[in-house]
């Protein structure tokens, strides 16, 4: 009879992923060894290999788990069928708060995705594209004319430009936390969105 998993197996895997993400984020994926991950987790190397076969499988788990949570976040907000502006505000709030507890994983996703093998990288990037598309749908719901001018994705990426790099300058012990900053980001973006002028088509586009 096959041995079943221990009751704390999944919790242990999550702890290992969190510690590995912290090491990868601060030392870099190439410079981190499985010995260092085992030490950070308080485990023997043999025990660590019981949960993850190698450092690469940890990288895949960190990137995929993080982006999968973002996909679920977008789906959850869309399922609420909120009015257009409230939907966009809620998406911004949820993703900013999610990043607050996932700064290490987010840094790994942004900086170390290049170390993924082609199939794994494409799967992770597909999920990222899904998240961007969900935000773009919310932006278009506020300003439907943006889609005709193909401005929905560029403006969405500008929004992510604000959100994605908050972890580089926000301090955990600072006067403002992510919960306080989320409505500020929403106010800045939604305050400027009505003022966006649609660009005139270039000659190349017209041709």
**Per-residue pLDDT reduced to its tens digit, 36-82:** 999 999 999 999 999 999 999 999 999 999 999 999 999 999 999 99
**Per-residue pLDDT reduced to its tens digit, 146-172:** 988 889 999 999 999 999 888 778 777
- pLDDT reported for residue 198: 86
The backbone torsions φ and ψ at residue 156, rounded to the nearest 5 degrees and listed phi first, read: -65, -40
CATH assignment, 55-193 = 1.10.357.10
Q: Model pTM?
A: 0.86
Residues 6+ apart with CB under 8 A from 173: none
Task: Establish how many alpha carbons lie within 13 A of residue 86's alpha carbon, considering only the half-sphere containing its beta carbon.
Answer: 7
């Amino acid at each position: 009879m096959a041995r079943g998993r221990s009751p704390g197996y999944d919790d242990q895997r999550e702890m290992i992923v969190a510690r590995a993400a912290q090491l990868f984020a601060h030392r870099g994926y190439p410079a981190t060894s499985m010995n260092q991950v085992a030490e950070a987790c308080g485990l023997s190397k043999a025990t660590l290999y019981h949960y993850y076969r190698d450092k690469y499988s940890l990288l895949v788990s960190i990137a995929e788990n993080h982006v999968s949570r973002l996909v679920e976040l977008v789906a959850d907000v869309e399922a609420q069928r909120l009015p257009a502006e409230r939907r966009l505000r809620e998406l911004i709030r949820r993703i900013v708060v999610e990043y607050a507890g996932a700064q290490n994983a987010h840094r790994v996703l942004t900086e170390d995705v290049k170390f993924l093998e082609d199939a794994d990288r494409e799967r992770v990037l597909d999920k990222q594209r899904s998240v961007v598309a969900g935000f773009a749908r919310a932006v278009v719901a506020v300003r439907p004319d943006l889609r005709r001018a193909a401005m929905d994705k560029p403006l969405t990426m500008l929004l992510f430009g604000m959100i994605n790099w908050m972890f580089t300058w926000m301090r955990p012990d600072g006067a403002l936390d992510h919960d306080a900053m989320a409505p500020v980001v929403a106010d800045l973006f939604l305050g400027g969105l009505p003022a966006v002028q649609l660009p005139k088509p270039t000659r190349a586009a017209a041709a």
